[in-house]
Amino acid sequence: MKPKQIKILAKEKLQIIWHDGNEIKITLKYLREECPCASCKGESVLFQTITPPKPVVDKPEMCAVTNIVPVGDYAIQIFWKDGHNSGIYTWDYLIELAAAENTNTSQAYKPLI
């Protein structure tokens, strides 16, 4: 499934409208808290999982988006006002985040190995 439209609503939420007409909304704060990059969620290297402390999103600029760019046909990369931009949010991950935010659930880091 690919999005038909992606936009920021009132500087607070990311809205995605899919080609089938379904729509999801995710707060920017939750997107930033659940950034999937290695420095935020960790990584697996040589059979060891390295999980950093969860980043504290406590400044308004940490949740302000300056740009969103497509990554191939499968994801977006979000550029945050504080300079963070290494997270690649796949379509599947965004759908998971929308469902998890409604239940106030943090995404657990899953080891790659």
Tens-place pLDDT, residues 11-67: 999 999 999 999 999 999 999 989 998 888 877 777 777 776 666 667 778 899 999
* 30 found inside a domain: yes
Q: Per-residue pLDDT tens for 24-38?
A: 999 999 999 899 988
* 83 found inside a domain: yes
* 108 found inside a domain: no
* 31 found inside a domain: yes
Q: Which residue range is the domain that position 23 belongs to? A: 3-102
Checking if the pLDDT of 113 tops 50, the result is: no
pTM: 0.83
Under 8 Å between Cβ of 49 and 41: no
CA distance readout (Å), 65 to 23, 31, 104, 108: 20, 10, 22, 24
Residue 59 maps to which CATH number?
3.30.2020.30
* 113 found inside a domain: no
DSSP run (H or E) holding 67: strand 65-71
pLDDT at residue number 105: 67
What total of structural domains would you count in the chain?
Answer: 1
Partners of residue 43 on adjacent β-strands:
50
* 8 found inside a domain: yes
Q: What is the residue type of 71?
A: V
